[in-house]
């Protein structure tokens, strides 16, 4: 089945290299908007808690609420884009995200901040889900797999380096300046999208019928070609976001890092994601997508169990860093290849398939963030539990894909 995914649907003409580079760069901007809006805040969570007079655990709800709305909104945006095209949903999403960012900048207490985060997420969900649908519009088969890997590598700079940027902005101007930055990012992203991509959905338009939409989602959820890789990626992404949210408590509160030090930690993860993406592009053509994803899942499990053991026996930075590096390396293989597997068979339903995939990913992320904040008062131990459970469930689930016909 993996070879079939690689070899089929390759009839689409390949764009010129320069055009492909620009397209993937803009798609990375679209895909990165949501994670940028979350990760840039991570070094500032303790300062935000003090400013808003709440606990650091309570201010984590700004991440959980964002991810939950982000997940639900994608279920609406995907079918709308299949009916009316990608252009206006993307541009509207950028505009809503811009407005939500300014609301957060002006927030004076936690409830007000959460309202702004809801508005932000409602806009970001459109750009994120449609980045995958647009990739499916432009590429197919093995080309889609390569494009997803390159998009992941490019967009890794946003969640990887944004905490470092956020720490610097917080230090120089305060945490509110981070919302000004992401608002400017959205404005530039909208301009770049209009100039480079525009409308890409030129296949059959699917009517915007609630009953038909529900049937489409149910059909996708019942199709193992979609279900198994999508659920697998959702589990691993949920684990990744639990790491994002727990890292400030582990490193700043537990190991006494500065916000800038936390930023450097996240920046270092970019190197592992980059290496994983390069490894994925070599593995998939040689051993097939199935075996490449399975290899990545084994790495996530090894890294996850290592984090749990480190939290129990040697809760210091170097062992924690080594364990997390192995997990991130595996995640960087599973995420793009699993995403390509889930989307490849569904060209005319790319918007709905991408929406459902994004919903599962972000709901997994919201659950992972919530669990990492509540399972234990020991942040590193709680993170180890969440990572281990998610990784082992993904390993158990993924082989079921081999039973598809």
- How confident is the model over 75-102, as a mean pLDDT? 86
The DSSP symbol for 378 reads: S
Containing 295, the helix (H) or strand (E) segment is: helix 289-313
* Domain edges within the chain: 2-201+209-403
User: At 354, which helix (H) or strand (E)?
Assistant: helix 350-374
pLDDT at residue 204 in the model: 62
In 197-248, alpha helices (H): 210-222, 224-247
Residue with tokens 């290899």: 295
Rounded CA-CA distance 376/105 in Å is 32
Band of pLDDT at residue 384, cut at 50, 70 and 90: very high
Identify which of 11-20, 142-151, 243-252 has the greatest average pLDDT. Answer: 243-252
pLDDT of residue 194: 85
Which pLDDT does position 14 carry in this prediction?
45
Contact by Cβ (8 Å): 171, 41 = no
Pick from 52, 384, 367: nearest CA to 250: 384
Predicted model pTM: 0.72
With contact defined as beta carbons under 8 Å apart, do 310 and 319 qualify?
yes
Give the span between the Cα atoms of 328 and 335, in whole angstroms.
10
Residue 11: its pLDDT value, please? Answer: 36
Is the model's pLDDT at 293 over the cut of 60? yes
CA distance 351 to 111: 33
168-185 per-position pLDDT tens digit: 898 889 899 999 999 999
For the chain, the average pLDDT equals 82
2-201+209-403: CATH number? 1.20.1250.20
Which of 134-148, 239-253, 384-398 has the largest mean confidence?
A: 384-398
Q: Which of 122-136, 294-308, 341-355 has the lowest mean pLDDT?
A: 341-355
Per-residue confidence (pLDDT) for residue 7, from 0 to 100: 39
Between 13 and 121, the higher pLDDT residue: 121
| Residue 3 predicted with pLDDT over 50 | no
pLDDT at 258 over 90: no
50 Cβ contact partners less than 8 Å away, ≥ 6 residues apart: none
Neighbouring CB atoms inside 10 A of 32's CB total 25
Asked if the model's pLDDT at residue 116 lies above 90, the reply is: yes
CA distance 265 to 269: 7
Distance from C-alpha of 48 to C-alpha of 292, rounded to nearest angstrom: 41
């Amino acid at each position: 089945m993996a070879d079939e995914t690689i070899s089929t649907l390759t009839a689409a003409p390949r764009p010129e290299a320069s055009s492909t580079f620009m397209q993937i760069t803009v798609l990375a901007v679209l895909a990165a908007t949501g994670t940028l809006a979350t990760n840039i805040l991570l070094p500032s969570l303790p300062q935000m808690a003090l400013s808003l007079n709440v606990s650091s655990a309570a201010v984590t709800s700004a991440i959980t609420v964002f991810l939950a709305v982000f997940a639900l909104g994608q279920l609406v945006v995907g079918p709308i884009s299949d009916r009316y095209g990608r252009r206006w949903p993307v541009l509207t999403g950028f505009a809503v995200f811009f407005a939500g960012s300014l609301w957060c900048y002006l927030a004076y207490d936690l409830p007000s901040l959460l309202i702004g985060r809801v508005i932000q997420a409602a806009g970001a969900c459109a750009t994120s889900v449609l980045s995958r649908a647009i990739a499916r519009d432009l590429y197919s088969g093995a080309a889609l797999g390569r494009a997803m890997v390159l998009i992941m590598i490019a967009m890794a700079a946003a969640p990887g380096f944004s905490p470092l940027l956020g720490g610097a902005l917080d230090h120089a101007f305060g945490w509110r300046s981070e919302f000004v930055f992401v608002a400017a990012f959205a404005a530039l992203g909208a301009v770049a999208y209009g100039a480079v991509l525009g409308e890409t959905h030129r296949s059959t338009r699917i009517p915007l019928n609630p009953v038909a939409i529900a049937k489409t989602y149910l059909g996708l959820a019942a199709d193992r070609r979609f279900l198994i890789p999508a659920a697998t990626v959702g589990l691993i992404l949920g684990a990744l976001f639990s790491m994002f949210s727990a890292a400030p408590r582990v490193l700043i509160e537990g190991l006494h890092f500065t916000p800038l030090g936390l930023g450097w930690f996240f920046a270092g993860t970019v190197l592992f994601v980059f290496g994983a993406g390069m490894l994925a592009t070599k593995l998939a053509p040689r051993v097939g997508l199935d075996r490449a994803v399975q290899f990545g899942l084994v790495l996530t499990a090894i890294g996850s169990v290592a984090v749990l053991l480190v939290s129990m026996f040697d809760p210091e930075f170097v062992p924690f860093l080594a364990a997390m590096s192995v997990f991130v390396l595996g995640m960087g293989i599973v995420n793009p290849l699993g995403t390509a597997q889930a989307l490849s068979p569904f060209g005319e339903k790319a918007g709905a398939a991408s929406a459902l995939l994004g919903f599962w990913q972000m709901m997994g992320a919201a659950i992972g963030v919530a669990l990492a904040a509540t399972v234990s008062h020991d942040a590193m131990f709680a993170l180890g539990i969440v990572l281990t459970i998610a990784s082992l469930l993904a390993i158990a689930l993924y082989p079921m894909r081999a039973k598809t016909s």
